[in-house]
């Protein structure tokens, strides 16, 4: 983990309220794996004081760190104003990422809303022979461009809640359909998105004996296990215990989520 001085290379609108930002790390290498994140400084003043967590959405061929983010509050609104040359600090890589070798035959990636961010990186790195990418959004305007996803090696299926693009309904329905032809022991599901969606994904996978990893979000102050702000109750074998989303996650086994 390093705190790297980073400079904005570009920061462009790619969907409604959603930006793709590339950060030049000045020659520093960020040895991140899919599912890991960075804590970004979003201002030079004490407001907002705390850094914000963002998944690594990719590291491109030039070594630029890619962040895909949605504007939801003060910090992300400030970020959306950044142009090329603006400097920030990126602390990372943090947390535990996805196990990219889980799907021996098929990997099914389930993205809900801005939860797509870490899954873009995952789709580039995944080892499985067949990769099905299920991309869900509330409406067409919130869908990211196809060009942001890997150009080869994935089968993309889209859903929107309002039916304005792709399947009309929840992305979890696409998951159920994809699992009808999959061999459970050779398939793995990877998901990131809103909590109710993740709960649903974990349930579907559990009922079909399919391995599943989910990336969770939590309010984070430090990102390194020091403030206890991101504690989450999880299952550990037959018992329940607490885990830190920032250190023990953000990726967890779907079975461990209560
Ligand atoms: C491990 C991890 C990885 C993340 N990766 C990404 C990513 O790749 N892209 C991305 O866009 N976001 C990501 N997030 C969420 C991101 O950190 C928050 O959206 C951001 O901190 C909000 O900062 P803000 O100052 O704009 O909002 P704040 O001013 O802090 O909050 C404004 C409002 O937004 C709500 N809010 C805060 N966080 C979230 C959230 N996560 N989801 C929905 N509403 C929220 C608050 O409750 C509040 O109502 C990630 C979070 C975690 C924990
Ligand atoms: S954010 Fe501080 S312990 Fe996880």
Of the candidates 67, 94, 121, which is a domain's last residue? Answer: 94
Note whether 108 and 185 are same-domain residues: yes
pLDDT of residue 102: 86
What residues does 187 pair with on adjacent strands? 106
Tell me whether residue 58 is exposed, middle or buried, using C-beta atoms within 10 angstroms of its C-beta: 0 to 12, 13 to 18, 19 or more: buried
Q: Which atom of ligand 1 is nearest to the CA of 69?
A: 11
* Domain CATH for 224: 2.10.240
- What percentage of the chain has pLDDT greater than the value 90? 83
Note whether 162 and 192 are same-domain residues: yes
Note whether 104 and 205 are same-domain residues: yes
The reply to whether ligand 2 has any atom less than 6 angstroms from the CB of 52 is no
- Tokens representing residue 113 in the block: 């809303």
pLDDT tens digits along 136-157: 999 999 999 999 998 888 999 9
Provide the number of structural domains found in the chain: 3
Alpha carbon distance 174, 219 (integer Å): 29
Alpha carbons within 13 angstroms on the beta-carbon side of residue 12 total 7
pLDDT tens digits along 70-108: 999 999 999 999 999 999 999 999 999 999 988 789 999
**pTM of the predicted model as reported, rounded to 2 decimal places:** 0.95
Note whether 31 and 121 are same-domain residues: no
Averaged confidence pLDDT in the chain: 94
Query: Which is higher by pLDDT, 207 or 44?
Result: 207
* Domain CATH for 171: 3.40.50.80
pLDDT of residue 46: 67
The reply to whether ligand 1 has any atom less than 6 angstroms from the CB of 54 is yes
Note whether 117 and 171 are same-domain residues: yes
The reply to whether ligand 1 has any atom less than 6 angstroms from the CB of 252 is no
pLDDT of residue 257: 83
pLDDT of residue 248: 95
* Domain CATH for 39: 2.40.30.10
Distances (CA, A) of 151 to 5, 76, 131, 165: 31, 28, 12, 20
pLDDT tens digits along 5-52: 999 999 999 999 999 999 999 999 899 999 999 999 998 776 777 899
The alpha helices in the chain, defined as continuous H runs, are 74-80, 116-125, 171-179, 195-207
CA of 210 relative to ligand 1 center, distance in Å? 29
pLDDT of residue 125: 93
pLDDT of residue 141: 97
Of the candidates 61, 94, 127, which is a domain's last residue? Answer: 94
pLDDT of residue 235: 86
The reply to whether ligand 2 has any atom less than 6 angstroms from the CB of 95 is no
Q: Sign of the CA dihedral 141, 67, 256, 227?
A: negative
pLDDT of residue 186: 94
Q: Which residue bears the tokens 């799907």? A: 103
Residue to mutate (ligand 2; options 92, 226, 252; most atoms within 8 A of CB): 226
pLDDT of residue 29: 86
Q: Is it the case that residue 61 has pLDDT exceeding 80?
A: yes
Nearest CA to ligand 1 atom 32: 73
Query: Which is higher by pLDDT, 206 or 45?
Result: 206
Asked if residue 30 lies in contact with residue 59, where contact means CB atoms within 8 angstroms, the answer is yes
Q: Which atom of ligand 2 is nearest to the CA of 222?
A: 2
Asked if residue 205 lies in contact with residue 211, where contact means CB atoms within 8 angstroms, the answer is yes
Q: Which residue bears the tokens 């890991």? A: 36
The reply to whether ligand 2 has any atom less than 6 angstroms from the CB of 225 is yes
CA of 233 relative to ligand 1 center, distance in Å? 20
pLDDT of residue 258: 78
Alpha carbon distance 14, 20 (integer Å): 6
């Amino acid at each position: 983990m390093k705190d790297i001085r980073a400079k904005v290379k570009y920061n462009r609108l790619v969907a409604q309220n959603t930006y793709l930002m590339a950060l030049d790390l000045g020659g520093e290498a960020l040895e991140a794996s899919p599912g890991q994140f960075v804590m970004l400084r979003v201002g030079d003043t004490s407001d907002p004081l705390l850094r914000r967590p963002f998944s690594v959405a990719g590291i491109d061929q030039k070594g630029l760190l890619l962040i895909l983010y949605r504007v939801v509050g003060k910090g992300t609104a400030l970020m959306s104003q950044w142009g090329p040359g603006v400097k920030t600090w990126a602390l990372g890589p943090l947390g535990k990422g996805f196990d990219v070798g889980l799907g021996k035959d098929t990997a099914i990636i389930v993205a809900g809303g801005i939860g797509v961010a870490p899954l873009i990186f995952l789709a580039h790195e995944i080892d499985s022979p067949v990769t099905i990418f299920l991309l869900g959004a509330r409406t067409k305007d919130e869908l990211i461009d196809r060009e942001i996803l890997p150009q080869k090696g994935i089968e993309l299926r889209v859903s929107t809640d309002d039916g304005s693009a792709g399947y009309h309904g929840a992305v979890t329905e696409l998951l159920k359909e994809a699992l009808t032809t999959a061999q459970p022991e050779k398939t793995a599901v990877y998901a990131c998105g809103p909590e109710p969606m993740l709960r649903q994904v974990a349930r579907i996978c559990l009922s079909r004996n399919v391995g599943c990893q989910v990336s969770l979000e939590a309010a984070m102050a430090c990102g390194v296990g020091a403030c206890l702000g991101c504690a989450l109750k999880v299952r550990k074998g037959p018992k329940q215990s607490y885990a830190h989303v920032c250190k023990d996650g953000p990726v967890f086994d779907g079975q461990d989520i209560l």
